[in-house]
Structure 1
Amino acid sequence: MSPDSPLDERALRARDWAGTQLSLSAASRFAPASADASFRRYFRIEDQGASWVLMDAPPEREDCAPFIRIGQLLLDAGLNAPRVLAQDLAQGFLLLSDLGRQTYLQAFTEDNAQALMDDAIAALIRWQLASRAEVLPEYDEALLRRELSLFPDWYVARHLQRELSLAQREALRGVEDLLVASALAQPRVYVHRDYMPRNLMPATPNPGILDFQDAVYGPITYDLASLMRDAFWSWPEARIERWLALYQQQARAAGLPIAPEPEFRRAFDWMGLQRHLKVIGIFARICYRDGKPHYLADVPRFIRYVRSVAVRYPQLAPLLGLFDELGLVAAA
């Protein structure tokens, strides 16, 4: 197997391991496929018209076991996740079926967006219907609060170089209490945690689902908020309203415990807000801890998300005031 570009020592080991698993010829192609915000990276292997994906997850940094276990849960639910064809957990290598080269994020057009999102909503409902308690880790109060702490710790303190006053800390804590209480009050289902266009692929059956290793058992609106309020793509509000109505109609018909309006909409909005604050903090952490600054370019999208939600609920006025005081006013 010959690489298309020079490979580091670990990539060479991964290439040789994959070649042994598949009994490939020297003419097979092995090239980077993608990387993500963690320490995982992916290579695509091609030989005689067939292709596979190799996940490289350094075991001192990443644990492959959740990926294997949760991937099987998705497959058991009738969804399209990569199949594990071979594994070496000691080295951190997984050989996977190849779901394709394009994500939803890359594939979206005006003509196909409706069909792709309809399929994503249907798949989400199937995932939620498969839920069972005590299978996945709980999305509990401790985890919700750890995620919320990323915003003041990494974005405010590290990126903005600002120290919140006592009044500002109390205002933020009050909003966090509201968001956590709302999340914990929701019906609980399997939660992918990054169910967004970057992790969905046009495939047969559609969609192919990626990056699910952090799945938990938690609030029913979380994955829907991830899908509608994406980190890298913003939808017109009219489309979001149509898709929210479609989800509610189909989820209720399937027997999921969907609250009536406006309770459902508030739960959705506040769950999204918890995620928005978390992601702002994560993007700052990825920049300063992991040396990947390009994620910060998408923070203005999340500032807009936060402000658009906070302005609709009087209870969230302290958060809007805090953003004003911090100068977090995203351009239109």
Structure 2
Amino acid sequence: MQRQQALHTWLQSQYPDQALELQFAAADADFRRYFRAVFSDGTTVIAMDAPPEKMSIEPYLKVQQLFQMVNVPDVLHYDIELGFMALEDLGNIPYLAALEHDARPEVHKALLLDAIDELIVLQQASQENQLPPYDEAVLKREINLFPEWFMAKELGKPMNFKQRQWWDAAEKVLLPVIEQQAKVYVHRDFIVRNLMLTRGRPGVLDFQDALYGPITYDLVSLLRDAFIEWEEDFVLDLVIRYWEKARAAGLPVNPNFDDFYREFEYMGVQRHLKVAGIFARLYHRDNKDKYRPEIPRFLNYLRRTTRRYNELQPFYALIVELVGDDELQTGYSF
């Protein structure tokens, strides 16, 4: 409440001629919280509270300027020392809510194609040396969250010698396929919770962790989501549509679709391992249980993908030994 009152006071200093009311809007997996400031004339802005002792708003400000080619919210006011920001309000209907409200496949496809169009605009604008590299060191650090937090903490099963051999063998195959992909701007959390349903183009949120890296990463984030899941033939159709649109836009995607889809799937394995580890860490380190029940979805993604490729069989063997070969239900953990 102390931070919220300080945020209210700061906003009032930026808008001294209007009374305002703060309404809670959202909270991120990290330490940021968002409020909707409703003014006496009915207008609104989104207020971000990012405690400066926990994180800095400077990366957000930098990437917001870099991503002007897509529909990111305007920054209206900010204070780096306080960790406060006033942003354009892009509404209160995230893609996830719209997709859950209307389950018709044609509606889902239309919304996701709009998101894909926005992703291609972002990727077309990519330039080297504007963002930190999404390189092998980062990729390895991320996937190692899986043994550190999911295996050791969530399951209570630290990696044994045989499992380490499986892991090392699969990692040596996985990472080169990802590393050799063309590099573009990577939002890193291009998911339906971070896209807003707005007039015209989708609004794009939560981009402050962007890097310069593999071209398939954001497509995987969009189509292999944590909170909503589609049939594999539906996903395949959208991957084909992205590939066709990307080629027409001159993006450096693999010219052979079978090879491109393999790159998409390998990138998915990296992301699924990372996210399962992050969701376990959020629970065991940060006492946040909101994401924990979705871990089984990523284990299902992992099992389906790794059993399709001979080179990834060591990962498949590891997952089966940890949680078995049956589909897991989301909504609970282990």
TM-score by length of 2: 0.94
User: What is aligned with 1:34?
Assistant: 26
Structure 1 residue runs of 4 or more that deviate by more than 6 Å after TM superposition:
none
What fraction of aligned residue pairs are identical, expressed as a percent?
44
In structure 1, runs of 5+ residues without a counterpart are: 1-7
* Aligned residue runs from structure 1 range 113-192, under 5 A: 113-192=108-187
**Cα displacement (A) at 1:93:** 0.3
User: What is aligned with 1:13?
Assistant: 6
User: What is aligned with 1:95?
Assistant: 86
Distance of aligned partners of 1:51 and 1:252 in 2 relative to their CA distance in 1, 3 Å threshold: same
* Aligned residue runs from structure 1 range 16-95, under 5 A: 16-26=9-19, 28-47=20-39, 48-75=41-68, 77=69, 79-95=70-86
**Cα displacement (A) at 1:140:** 0.7
In the alignment, the residues of structure 1 paired with residue 175 and residue 15 of structure 2 have an alpha-carbon distance, to the nearest angstrom, of 48
In structure 2, runs of 5+ residues without a counterpart are: 330-334
Contact 2:72–2:205, Cα closer than 8 Å, also in 1 = yes
**Cα displacement (A) at 1:328:** 4.5
Give the counterpart of 1:289 among 265, 279, 285: 285
In the alignment, the residues of structure 2 paired with residue 238 and residue 311 of structure 1 have an alpha-carbon distance, to the nearest angstrom, of 17
In the alignment, the residues of structure 2 paired with residue 31 and residue 55 of structure 1 have an alpha-carbon distance, to the nearest angstrom, of 12
User: What is aligned with 1:331?
Assistant: 328
Q: Deviations over 1:34-53 (max 9, x none)?
A: 00100000010112221100
Q: Deviations over 1:244-294 (max 9, x none)?
A: 111011100010111112110110000011000000000010001111023
Q: Name the aligned partner's letter for residue 288 of structure 1.
A: H
User: What is aligned with 1:318?
Assistant: 314
Q: Deviations over 1:1-54 (max 9, x none)?
A: xxxxxxx1111000110111122533x221111001000000101122211000
In the alignment, the residues of structure 2 paired with residue 39 and residue 100 of structure 1 have an alpha-carbon distance, to the nearest angstrom, of 22
Q: Deviations over 1:286-326 (max 9, x none)?
A: 00111102311001110110011011101111111111211
Instruction: Determine helix, strand or coil for the equivalent of 1:23.
Output: coil
User: What is aligned with 1:215?
Assistant: 210
In the alignment, the residues of structure 1 paired with residue 324 and residue 121 of structure 2 have an alpha-carbon distance, to the nearest angstrom, of 38
User: What is aligned with 1:249?
Assistant: 244
In the alignment, the residues of structure 1 paired with residue 285 and residue 21 of structure 2 have an alpha-carbon distance, to the nearest angstrom, of 33
CA RMSD between the two structures: 1.2
* Aligned residue runs from structure 1 range 272-287, under 5 A: 272-287=268-283
**Cα displacement (A) at 1:141:** 0.8
**Cα displacement (A) at 1:331:** 2.6
Instruction: Determine helix, strand or coil for the equivalent of 2:242.
Output: helix
Contact 1:80–1:205, Cα closer than 8 Å, also in 2 = no
The answer to whether residue 201 in structure 2 is matched with residue 206 in structure 1 is: yes
Q: Name the aligned partner's letter for residue 95 of structure 2.
A: Y
Contact 2:303–2:320, Cα closer than 8 Å, also in 1 = no
User: What is aligned with 1:308?
Assistant: 304
Distance of aligned partners of 1:192 and 1:204 in 2 relative to their CA distance in 1, 3 Å threshold: same
User: What is aligned with 1:4?
Assistant: none
Distance of aligned partners of 1:258 and 1:59 in 2 relative to their CA distance in 1, 3 Å threshold: same
Instruction: Determine helix, strand or coil for the equivalent of 1:312.
Output: coil
Q: Deviations over 1:66-100 (max 9, x none)?
A: 1111111221x2x1101110010001001100011
Task: Name the stretch that deviates more: 265-274 or 175-184.
Answer: 175-184
Alignment length (residue pairs): 322
* Aligned residue runs from structure 1 range 105-116, under 5 A: 105-108=96-99, 109=102, 110=104, 112-116=107-111
In the alignment, the residues of structure 2 paired with residue 218 and residue 328 of structure 1 have an alpha-carbon distance, to the nearest angstrom, of 33
In the alignment, the residues of structure 2 paired with residue 224 and residue 300 of structure 1 have an alpha-carbon distance, to the nearest angstrom, of 21
